[in-house]
Chain A
């Protein structure tokens, strides 16, 4: 295996474009090293992007949006004094991944590009409308997070392409997000079900909503029907039931060692309700 630590994304992209065999980018490495060690994936080329300038930066842009460097760790996100005030759902979702130790290394970008349908940060990013900047041999493009994963372990990134920044929209007024996942223990598990909700209110009424589901289909889902179920409502009990039903209906899960089809289909609705209530409270400026 060849190891490279390029100084720019253009260089990283060129290295990847010219590499033969299997190439992996190394950000936090918490997935790549596990795959390497268990010999699930044996890369021929490993490109460490942590020596590129600015990859640990968390920047609030003039328009209120955020740009995160691709090697920004979960711990750095959690410690940031303002990011979590704007996007508690995104920060909490990232924080759920692995242990304190894993938080010291793991990144949003890695979580996304690993392509797992159960990745915790991805539903939260999808709900929040996060995009990533992709640098490739033909320059850069901006891609919505939901368009990156194409199936378990697979992404839409082409040869030579590397994610070079994470872009989180401006929070704006009267809005809140939340992410909840189900795991059998309290920590250290992979999500059996995950739900991200982002919404905006006018008074008590929901006027914008995005709901995403994790670990219930081959990729994270952005579910239009869930958003429709709560739009225009004040999140009364009937609305919550409709949300749960829409979430369950959107599921296309599998039976595996982590959960059953029946369980995932049922619990996705439970979590959708609970996450929506938290997002709603946050949008109202309440502690939740």
Chain B
């Protein structure tokens, strides 16, 4: 993509206006997934397996069908036949199998049937009338156990081409990469540390449960309203699972109450549509919190071995990691991403990384903010911290010494373009936090983190109105204030006030395809698309002005919201404001709009460095995070307040993951803690203020220099907090979460 028009001085970009949807959000007017109803609407509920692994022998729904309030019941037979393929090639099959179980229930909470009834209570009551006969099978939920020879097989033939021969069928994808000679590198080291680390599965924990309202007729035409990070992927997937044409299903994204990756796929949406098709009425399905925990996509749990060699001066001579990720009963655990990201912050001559994707009897993992990267960073940055401690080296200096920069060969292969890791480390070193004294019982931790970021298919349409205002249609659901950023970027190009631009998240029928709001892509890709669409409109505005003036179009340029002659030779005309051109656009050539439909490829990788102080109560093992600073390269912050918000949110989620959040499974393979009481996300009183430093090293792949900021912020916290806790407690913590029982046990073991 040509970027011949880079911009570095801005009028609107970098300011902090109120978000356009603010009023709706503070008055209760904003419509989220569950906030809608339709005439004649039924309520759906899903029957879920109580077993971690069981053959479904028989489903007898006759009693439920006979109930007067029940209008439809669906099982797997009510969905399309979707072909099975190994690995991730058969993703529609995997999603269908997850949405409604086929021959086997594969985890506690797996959907086996669904009901539509005249009220939510009636639907829930009707579930108890459905009799399912199960043949319970042996199960496995632990990643290491799932790889052992005698582990129960989740699904034969699910492994793709990459898995070496002789591995258990539960290992479904394998990744190996790196360069140099790690053995030679280790031989060259003054100190080599090798250690093993474990992280538990965590949930994205968005506060809004999945909710949707579906209507599908026997003519194959349908409407779906749902809370999602991407309504086009919902459209495509639902159509495939129901055997209808994609374009016949119109999907509207509601306001979304958090996603963090967990709403990038479908769960109840195809079920609501299948029920509706059968009942011939609209069906609303809203998950309970317990269903969200049991049956949507948590992140993977991980078991990892990392070995790093260091010279006395802090130079890393070799690094090697093996990352085993469990992603539930389907292929998709991001072991490959963990491997590729783990050593990415460093300039290494000798590096080797291996990643495994392993199936177990747990729910199908979904993306969670930089999926795979935080776990690897935890293991790698813990070992680096330990090396620094043992060699008596400053942890920021060591990272600076080894930091990747423009021209470095990345651990995953290619050579970096301009990147900002060094700048974040220098900012860390200069930050007052890094020099602040620690109290007794406190420890400080540092970690770097890396994430790729993503571009993705993007469509944007911008239409000017007669009065000179603009309406901008984007296709990426706004999960954190992106409408404000889009309006700022459009204002920057058009030169009209931010307030005069109305941004709408369009439905699937009114805009071309858009990839999901994921991969930190929205401000990058929809932003780039907005800029291009606005420029497209500006070209037309210049054409109209040129025609009015009777001069060639290339003699007109756009400045501060006005067409102006491009030089003294172009003629002497007063600037012509946008509103003067749009006022009579109907008679000067018709409506003026700008469009963008493409796949921006230039997301630009991103790095962050976090500094954390933690205090550990040596008698109880309880940790408090006492100070936290996030430093991250944003490329260019369009709306700095919302960039800070992304940094703070990533840190807070990282604190939860590091200290208290985990999926706890019993011996019976059932999830033990499927409510917020026992799945402990941070509450307001758990956290300090979270300081932020926005570093701006422009991304060469974006006209304004934007790098995505949503995901990188969750990569460093696990390691940074583990390092702080380990330094406070005087014992290396190698398992997350570092719950008080684990810390107290580690302290006891340490004497």
Contacts of B740 in A (CB 8 A): 182, 184, 192, 259, 263, 267
B683 contacts A267, CB within 8 Å? no
B1 contacts partner chain A, Cβ-Cβ < 8 Å:
no
Q: Does B221 contact A (CB under 8 A)?
A: no
B8 within 8 Å of A (CB atoms): no
A residues within 8 A CB of B660? 184-185
User: Hey, which chain B residues are within 8 Å of A187, CB to CB?
Assistant: 683, 685-686
Q: How large is the interface on A (under 10, 10 to 19, 20 to 34, 35 or more residues)?
A: 20 to 34
Known: A184-B659, A257-B664. A270 touches B745 (CB 8 A): no
A4–B173 Cα gap in the complex (Å)? 59
> Is B678's CB under 8 angstroms from A262's CB?
no
Residue of B nearest to A263 (CB): B741
Contact present for B745 and A263 (CB under 8 Å): yes
B interface size (C-beta, 8 A): 27
Contact B290 A262 (CB under 8 A): no
For the complex, what is the distance from the CA of A263 to the CA of B740, rounded to whole Å? 8
Task: Give per-residue flags for B650-685: 1 if the beta carbon is below 8 A from chain A beta carbons, else 0.
Answer: 000000000110001000000011011110101101
In the bound complex, how far is the Cα of B288 from the Cα of A192, in angstroms?
26
Main secondary structure of the interface of B (DSSP, over half): loop
B156 CB within 8 Å of chain A: no
Neighbouring B residues of A101 by C-beta, 8 Å:
none
Asked if B622 is an interface residue, CB under 8 A from chain A, the answer is yes
Asked if A189 CB lies within 8 Å of chain B CBs, one says yes
Q: B622 to chain A: which residues have CB within 8 Å?
A: 182, 184
With both chains docked as a complex, state the minimum distance between the C-beta of A110 and any C-beta of chain B, in angstroms: 16
**CB-CB nearest in chain A for B687:** A186
Query: When chains A and B are docked, how far (Å) is the Cα of A257 from the Cα of B741?
Result: 11
Q: Indicate if the CB atoms of A190 and B672 lie closer than 8 Å.
A: no
Query: B641 on the interface (CB 8 Å rule)?
Result: no
Min CB gap A1→B, angstroms:
10
Q: Across the interface, which residues of A come within 8 angstroms of B697, CB to CB?
A: none
A85-141, CB < 8 A from B: none
Q: B672 — which chain A residues lie within 8 A by C-beta?
A: 256-257
The complex places the Cα of A262 from the Cα of B747 at a distance, in Å, of 13
CA distance A6 to B685 in the complex (A): 40
Q: Are A270 and B683 in contact, with the CB atoms below 8 A?
A: no
Chain B residues with CB below 8 A from A188, complex form: 676-677, 680, 683
B683 touches A184 (CB 8 A): no
Cβ–Cβ contact A258 & B745, under 8 A: no
Q: Report if A266 contacts B (CB, 8 A).
A: yes
Known contacts A257-B673, A263-B741; A189/B664 CB under 8 A = no
Q: For the complex, is A38 an interface residue (Cβ under 8 Å from B)?
A: yes
A residues 224-239 touching B (CB-CB < 8 Å): none
Interfacial chain B residues near A259, Cβ < 8 Å: 740-741
Q: How far is the CB of B176 from chain A (nearest CB, A)?
A: 36
Q: Which of B620, B621, B682, B686 has the most CB of A within 10 A?
A: B620
B744 within 8 A of A: yes
Could you list some 16 contacts between A and B, CB below 8 A?
Answer: A39-B124, A184-B622, A184-B740, A185-B680, A186-B685, A187-B686, A188-B683, A257-B678, A259-B740, A260-B745, A262-B741, A262-B748, A263-B744, A267-B619, A267-B620, A270-B619
Q: When A and B form their complex, which 6 residue pairs have the shortest distance between CB atoms, in order from nearest? A: A263-B741, A186-B685, A257-B664, A257-B672, A270-B619, A260-B741
Known: A262-B748, A267-B619. 19 other contacts (CB 8 A): A39-B124, A182-B620, A184-B622, A184-B660, A185-B660, A185-B682, A185-B683, A186-B685, A187-B683, A187-B685, A189-B680, A192-B740, A257-B678, A259-B740, A260-B745, A262-B741, A263-B741, A266-B744, A270-B620
